[in-house]
Structure 1
Amino acid sequence: MFNQLLEFRNAKLLVQALTNKIHEIEYFQKTGQQYQCGNNEDFSIAGQQLLEFYFYDYMLLQGFPNNQSQFKKPSDIIQLRQRLINDKYLSEIAILLNIQNLLNIGNQKSLKNNPKVLSDCVKSIIGAHYYDKQNDLETLRDIIHPIVVQLLNKGEQITRTQWKYNPKSSFLEYLNSYKGELNINPKLTIEWKKDDSVLNQNKSLYLISLELNSTMKVQKVGVNKRETEQNVYLEALLQLRNYHTKNYQKQKKLNNKTEIQESQGESELSTSLDSTLNNQNLSYYSFTEKTLDRIQINFDQQFNLMLEQLANE
């Protein structure tokens, strides 16, 4: 099904597509000369773009999007494409082609089974075909569509809810919705690390960290970059909601306490005034005309003056 992926007119392009940058660097360090075939880094970038284009091309040829299917709008196809074109599924295609035994990786033999390295190699082969077939897009379509079909077969295992839900987007939407209420400034860092366990010795993994603030940080390790990153954002979203809820409840309690204190203060003042007036057996008190004419006083001043006169009687 994928054998034509390794059929090249120009064998040098295939060798370059199978050569990791590490091999080129080690070759130069040993010989002092440039590796003639070069590495597959640029081919990998081109292959990614071509694979995304032909994925959408295949779906259009199948009559999608349409209202009778689960792909009702272009964004549905794009979301599915983002789910399927990943290191895990592309590395499985690489293994079917036995690319791990053809890959030039220098002395880093353990990387021959690394999903990202194998995935990049598949994309590099696609990118190299563009030049080998002299920019013939029809021929390239015949080569790439079987890969798309394989990816879609994998996609059947993913429910519509799974491929449509994007934790990163949900996290950013929630953060923007309560921007004024949350003291959050997320910082994402992505690192490579080696798995030092006995079973997976020297296997490269992604270490992805998302710092929300000085007290909250989410960190996860995984083979697949996109899946690991989405898991980080999913946990971060849960922490953010919990943090927001606690802060809201805390502020609500504080506001209620303030209201109660103000209400108690008003009640005590009213009770004290009633008690003072009742003890004097007075039903009515009025200011003299002479006092009002002499100075212009507001209500508070009148009230204080009344209390002073009552206290002296």
Structure 2
Amino acid sequence: MKKDMISAERKSKLLKFCKSVGIKFKNIELLEQAFHHRSLTNEIKSAKNNERLEFLGDSVLGMVTASYLYKSLENPEGDLAKIKSQVVSEKTLAPIALSLHINSLLLMGHGEQMSGGQTKPAILADCMEAIIGAYYLDQGYKAAEKYVLSFIIPEVEKTVSNGLKDFKTQLQERFQKYSKQTPRYQLISKTGPDHDQTFEVSVQLGDKTFGPAKGKTKKEAEQLAAQIALQKYDFTSI
């Protein structure tokens, strides 16, 4: 993208973003490209989209995160893989993008914008990776690593403190280990209007039933039922 294609107002916004996240670009056009969703090129043929930068940034993000986990945690490989998959996921990256106001700088085609593209998790996460790719090209690995760690370390700490496995996963792994069977969940009831439903679920381990537990979604009720079973079931008695 040529320099004269970036307006003074747009450049000011990009520089403000850089300052807010603690990064510097020699080639501001690279950063600008990172904010170009592919739908933009459908309307402006001369505009480059951010897909190639996203591809590169995804690899840099993965490398930085894997290296940090290896150096900072003594967990086995399986745990490190689970942590990595959580912290570099769309579910994690999209809220970070919103907190950095990346959505306000995204440029996309009219149709995508009208459908709420600037707040779609997949688009936000992809843009985060594109920015990493652009920064890596502009400033090198060490600078990109510092930027990535600024938001990945808190997510790693959060993931570790919250536990690596949800209650359903823990219950399934423990029950299968002792019995070679899987827990069976049963929806007991579903009450309330469509916009405010309550689900009641129980879980059966062999001939024993635990719950029911209530939740605002079926998934939440299943998690709570699994938590009850984990607390009350004597797995060594199988």
TM-score interval (norm. to shorter)? 0.5 to 0.7
Q: Which structure has more RCO (C-alpha within 8 Å, separation ≥ 6)?
A: 2
How much has 1:76 moved relative to structure 2?
Answer: 1.5
How much has 1:47 moved relative to structure 2?
Answer: 1.1
Out of 130, 140, 147, the position equivalent to 1:143 is: 147
Q: Distance in 2 between matches of 1:143 and 1:164?
A: 35
Aligned to 1:56: 66
Q: Distance in 1 between matches of 2:142 and 2:96?
A: 22
Aligned to 2:54: 44
How much has 1:156 moved relative to structure 2?
Answer: 4.2
Q: Distance in 1 between matches of 2:88 and 2:20?
A: 16
- Asked whether 1:97 is paired with 2:100, we answer yes
Structure-to-structure mapping, 1:268-283, within 5 angstroms: none
Change beyond 3 A, Cα 1:163–1:122:
farther
Q: Distance in 2 between matches of 1:138 and 1:51?
A: 12
Aligned to 2:80: 77
8 A Cα contact 1:9 1:132, kept in partner: yes
Q: Distance in 2 between matches of 1:17 and 1:164?
A: 38
How much has 1:165 moved relative to structure 2?
Answer: 4.5
Change beyond 3 A, Cα 1:102–1:2:
same
Change beyond 3 A, Cα 1:106–1:3:
same
Cα offsets for 1:43-73 (capped at 9, x unmatched): 11111111111111112332x22xxxxx1x1
* Structure 2: gaps spanning 5 or more residues: 1-18, 174-218, 220-238
Change beyond 3 A, Cα 1:23–1:145:
same
- Asked whether 1:159 is paired with 2:177, we answer no
Aligned to 2:133: 127
- What amino acid is aligned across from residue 21 of structure 2 in structure 1? N
8 A Cα contact 1:22 1:106, kept in partner: yes
- What amino acid is aligned across from residue 40 of structure 2 in structure 1? H
Change beyond 3 A, Cα 1:157–1:59:
closer
Aligned to 1:289: none
Structure-to-structure mapping, 1:165-204, within 5 angstroms: 165=169
> Secondary structure of the equivalent of 1:9?
coil
Q: Distance in 1 between matches of 2:92 and 2:133?
A: 18
Aligned to 2:226: none
Q: Distance in 2 between matches of 1:160 and 1:95?
A: 25
Q: Distance in 1 between matches of 2:22 and 2:87?
A: 21
Q: Distance in 1 between matches of 2:99 and 2:109?
A: 22
Out of 95, 110, 124, the position equivalent to 1:118 is: 124
- Asked whether 1:18 is paired with 2:35, we answer yes
- What amino acid is aligned across from residue 117 of structure 1 in structure 2? I
How much has 1:157 moved relative to structure 2?
Answer: 5.9
How much has 1:146 moved relative to structure 2?
Answer: 1.0
Aligned to 1:260: none
- What amino acid is aligned across from residue 166 of structure 2 in structure 1? Q
* Structure 1: gaps spanning 5 or more residues: 29-33, 66-70, 171-230, 232-313
Q: Distance in 1 between matches of 2:93 and 2:71?
A: 22
Q: Distance in 2 between matches of 1:48 and 1:2?
A: 22
Aligned to 2:235: none
Q: Distance in 2 between matches of 1:2 and 1:158?
A: 29
Q: Distance in 2 between matches of 1:44 and 1:2?
A: 21
8 A Cα contact 1:58 1:148, kept in partner: no
8 A Cα contact 1:76 1:164, kept in partner: no
8 A Cα contact 2:70 2:80, kept in partner: no
How much has 1:163 moved relative to structure 2?
Answer: 9.7
- What amino acid is aligned across from residue 4 of structure 1 in structure 2? G
Aligned to 2:186: none
8 A Cα contact 2:93 2:124, kept in partner: yes
How much has 1:158 moved relative to structure 2?
Answer: 3.6
- What amino acid is aligned across from residue 88 of structure 1 in structure 2? K
In percent, how many aligned pairs have the same letter?
23
8 A Cα contact 1:79 1:163, kept in partner: no
Q: Distance in 2 between matches of 1:49 and 1:3?
A: 21
8 A Cα contact 2:97 2:124, kept in partner: yes
